[in-house]
Amino acid sequence: MAALARQNSSTPTGPAATVRRDHWWWAPVAGLFRWAVGMRHRTYDYGLARSKPGALPSVVLGNITVGGTGKTPHVKALLQALEGANPDRRWAILSRGYGRRTKGFLRVHRDGTAEQFGDEPLELARRFPKHAVAVCEDRLSGIAALKEAEVADAVLLDDGFQHRRLDPTYAIVLVDTTQPIDRDHFLPRGRLRDLPSRLQDADAVILTRCTDLLTKGDLRLWRHRLHLRPDQLLLHTGTMVDGLRNMHTKRYASWPFRCIAVSGIAQPGQFEASLSHQCRVMRHFAYPDHHAFKPGDFAEWSAALSDPTLKAEAIITTEKDAERIRSIEGAAGLPILVMGMQVKWWDEDALTALLTSISQRVEASLAEPDI
């Protein structure tokens, strides 16, 4: 079957559905991967390879693990906050464009496809039509191209913390509290793609998927667990459902009583858990992250939708998945709804401190003659 998992309403959801498994038999390979990552960083730390600032001030949002920490929703939330703090500053968004079939630097157009630009950049371009969104594997080249186009004063990078050739103006790293990095292992045994110690190279750390406001004691514990410096900002966020829209008309829709869930993301269990608070999930077609949907997938969803024993009224997917679904032939014939998610900043004072810190750093970079 094309789907990796087919879950009905009796399948456990929530944290139990997203427990990280320790694939201990991969330990030797994970050890080699960790060694290779460490050697690569040492070439930069010892000056054998050089990092350099971008042509424009750059703010990087990254992580230590592979996928699932919520970088793109946080890019949206941070850009909205930066807009509110300084409406006159022009921000551009730069992404690698994971999953696209093109190469090099491209400006993302709202009427494009995920095959051209990647699903996440396309989602950002449609969400922020007034801001330039671009994709480029080489972040330094991408920033230089954005400067040459004169479309931005500063650049917000969706991912790129591991792109050591770039010395960012400001670095923010996300840590998923439901799968903390201090209890994880390197790929392929676990989800780590970078050294946990690299958190100390960040200017700010955001704890994601917090279900409530953390106490000062909780934050001190996290600082200790993650070995953060006293001067590093520590924020925490949660996520909440931001309505339901028809994928074709983009109008708000009512929640069905029963639905078929479809996702191709890193944390499908968390998507289902959020969805289950709104309606009953009769079956979940969970694919790998950035899955390229095909007409054959639609046939399976349609069959599930027509199953009289399930009595599902609609198909519900994520915003990221919708960018890959809507351009496929056959999508228009299915009742597909899109569930939006919104980042909740639990501590407004910490957010204000973050915005002030970013602004000061960007202003200083803009004042330098070589920027």
Burial of 194 (0-12, 13-18, 19+ CB in 10 A): buried
Residue 46 lies in a domain: no
170 and 317 in a single domain? The answer is no
Q: Cα 249 from chain centroid?
A: 25
Question: What contacts 359, CB < 8 A, 6 or more positions away?
Answer: 85, 86
88 and 99 in a single domain? The answer is yes
Residue 28 lies in a domain: no
306 and 231 in a single domain? The answer is no
57 and 176 in a single domain? The answer is yes
Q: Report phi then psi at 157, rounded to 5.
A: -100, 125
pLDDT at residue number 20: 53
pLDDT at residue number 267: 87
90 and 182 in a single domain? The answer is yes
Segment-wise mean pLDDT, segments of 10 residues, the chain, 371 residues:
38 38 88 97 95 97 88 95 96 94 95 93 94 97 97 95 96 94 93 96 97 96 97 96 93 96 92 95 96 92 96 96 89 93 96 98 88 54
165 and 284 in a single domain? The answer is no
Tokens 């095959």 sit on residue: 115
152 and 190 in a single domain? The answer is yes
Residue 134 lies in a domain: yes
Task: Please give the tally of structural domains in the chain.
Answer: 2
Tell me the CATH number at 108. Answer: 3.40.50.300
279 and 153 in a single domain? The answer is no
Q: Please choose, from the candidates 20, 92, 15, the residue with its C-alpha nearest in 3D space to the C-alpha of residue 56.
A: 92
Torsional sign, CA 17, 323, 236, 189: positive
110 and 12 in a single domain? The answer is no
**pTM greater than 0.75:** yes
Residue 40 lies in a domain: no
338 and 220 in a single domain? The answer is no
81 and 155 in a single domain? The answer is yes
Find the domain containing 245 and state its range: 5-17+241-342
218 and 251 in a single domain? The answer is no
Residue 97 lies in a domain: yes
Residue 33 lies in a domain: no
Residue 140 lies in a domain: yes
Residue 34 lies in a domain: no
Q: Which stretch of DSSP H or E encloses residue 175?
A: strand 170-176
Q: What is the DSSP string of 306-365?
A: H-TTT---EEEEEHHHHHHHTTSTTGGGS-EEEEEEEEEES-HHHHHHHHHHHHHHHHHH
